[in-house]
Chains A and B, each alone.
Chain A
């Protein structure tokens, strides 16, 4: 304080100049916020390192490759091959994508391009309400409504379409398909919302040009809207995939929790997230088992990291092409329009 004041006195300062303490406030403020932002990075790094450290005993016991790919999860014998869990996660997410993404994109196209302007807002709100329902409520609904009510339909579907791969045979009550269907419903609002935002960035000139050339509404969507928003919709679908992979509670309730990999979509199964939620209680006094569950969490973390990393890379590429700064949050993925395609 004193030293600063002395220096200031000798300086040729105007009466408008701030006092030393007032001048210190700005760098302090800036520094504080920077530290806060840095803390997020430190936290995530700590997070990652801690998961690895805690998962290590189990990974060392089982071997990393064998942990991921060997098909035998048997905690009572200290055998931890997570393939049945990983397979379940992949199967249910795939079912969710196959059902959810087309419906979500259709909804987004209908709301932005076809429906009367007056219906736009209400429809948007209704679709987004799906996101307000917590996953445990979806699980509850899945257990007491979907499983009993869909059983008959599933059996007749399995019987009549057993020529399809992964269809046919006995229908278990809780199964991959029910879990996938619930996930499809859960990813629908986010995929639809981001697709809608992407689609609404298609310049009106492009659409008007198509219509002026005599295109029908659908042709306008096909030649003007879809090519422009393709990469954005891909990003939206990927973000949905990330959600589906990590979803726990709804899945654990309806997937059946069987550690045998099912042969068809109406078989029981397990998923990475589900096994953590289900077994952590019994694992509390067994460090090896707990380590295996943490390793499952680590695998899940890495999986979502890769999926979201790809989605993010799409955004960054689109940003660079566009040359302007896109708004970052939920909108980031949304704003990934693909101007190069339209320019061509």
Chain B
């Protein structure tokens, strides 16, 4: 910043054409940024203007969808609880495994060919479309009717596959940032490797690990495609992950194609609920990042 002002003091002013180009290009870059923010403003505006009404309607949070097309469509209690249950189980699976793989890569694998191989395939996994994970669980577990056809836990598995690479990649960055001197100090005192990892490396990296894991959870929460084939939709609330289970994204998806105002309003209200849930988790993740001791 200061270099520009001092440069303009010392040097002859730039020619008109160059200055015009400069202004023009700066204008274009600014315009690009404004354009990027327009959809955000619009989406948020419509979410609130169309969703608040349905959200404050009586029974939105306390009743299940009735499935009646003509009468009262009901609320989305089963969808909200289903989303929380499915995502919680997915997190329980994906976070330990994801962090475990990251620990292997950082503490043991390092630059070995095997580790590079794993790293590459974790990258590949990040690029796999979510619907393909859903399809995979569908053909391996749903069509084969292992433990029932459509069940909540199969949805969790699909989401866990999706979250795993996100957890591993973010955990790896954080673990790399743990100073080598800390490990060396502990090892020099005779602490075994596993204890160094569990008692020194993990606690030091904890805030960062929490941030990465929560961001993965936030990402999994909004996914629809893998749930359509795995946990499907259902009206009633269930606490049994072995049953068909409703979820907010699947409920919204089903509601969009219903040509009735009440149901579409419920879709907007559910969308607002889902976005607020995801924002809350993202916010907690950011707060955890602030407490980070490394980086």
Contacts and interface: CB of A to CB of B under 8 A. Distances in A.
A277 B129 CA distance: 12
Interface residues of B, number: 97
B129 A114 contact: no
Contacts of A318: none
B37 A300 contact: no
Interface in A132-182: 132-141, 143-145
Name the prevailing secondary structure of the B interface residues. Answer: helix
B121 interface: yes
Interface string B74-109: 000000000000000000000001001101110111
A103 B32 contact: yes
Given A106-B31, A130-B39, A328 B173 contact: yes
Interface in A1-45: 16, 18, 22, 25-26, 28-30, 32-34, 36-41, 43-44
B198 to A, nearest CB: 8
B138 A140 contact: no
A329 B130 CA distance: 19
Interface in B4-41: 4, 7, 11-12, 14, 18-19, 21-22, 25-26, 28-33, 35-37, 39-40
A29 B194 CA distance: 6
Nearest to A293: B135
A94 interface: no
A196 to B, nearest CB: 11
Contacts of A26: 192-194
Contacts of A208: 3
A216 B18 contact: yes
A25 B194 contact: yes
A212 B7 contact: yes
A109 interface: yes
B101 A137 contact: no
A211 B37 contact: no
B46 interface: yes
B252 interface: yes
Given A132-B218, A328-B169, A328-B172, A110 B129 contact: no
Contacts of A25: 192, 194
Given A218-B26, A328-B169, A22 B192 contact: yes
Nearest to A309: B124
Interface stretch (B52-60, B63-71, B111-119, B234-242): B111-119
A111 B37 CA distance: 13
Given A145-B42, A214-B14, A127 B249 contact: no
B224 A214 contact: no
Interface stretch (A47-55, A58-66, A70-78): A47-55
Contacts of A102: 32
A218 B36 contact: no
A44 B121 contact: yes
Contacts of B100: 32-33, 36-37
A contact face: mostly helix, strand, loop, or mixed: helix
A97 interface: no
B7 A211 contact: yes
A245 B129 CA distance: 8
A286 to B, nearest CB: 12
Contact of A280 (B12, B32, B138): B138
A248 interface: yes
A308 B123 contact: yes
Given A137-B43, A242-B127, A107 B279 contact: no
B111 to A, nearest CB: 8
Nearest to A137: B271
Interface string A238-259: 0100100111110001000000
Contacts of B278: 132, 134
Nearest to A18: B192
Q: Which 9 A-B pairs have the closest CB atoms?
A: A246-B129, A106-B32, A134-B222, A329-B169, A308-B127, A29-B194, A216-B22, A33-B104, A218-B25
Given A26-B192, A273-B129, 7 more contacts: A33-B104, A36-B104, A37-B114, A41-B117, A135-B224, A211-B3, A308-B126
Interface of A: 16, 18, 22, 25-26, 28-30, 32-34, 36-41, 43-44, 47, 50-51, 54, 102-107, 109-111, 114-115, 117, 123, 126-127, 129-130, 132-141, 143-145, 185, 188, 192, 208, 211-212, 214, 216-219, 221, 239, 242, 245-249, 253, 273, 276-277, 280, 284, 290, 293-294, 297, 300-301, 304-305, 307-309, 312, 325, 327-332
17 contacts: A25-B194, A33-B103, A37-B101, A37-B115, A40-B118, A106-B28, A109-B29, A133-B222, A141-B42, A211-B7, A214-B12, A214-B14, A218-B26, A246-B131, A276-B135, A312-B120, A330-B170
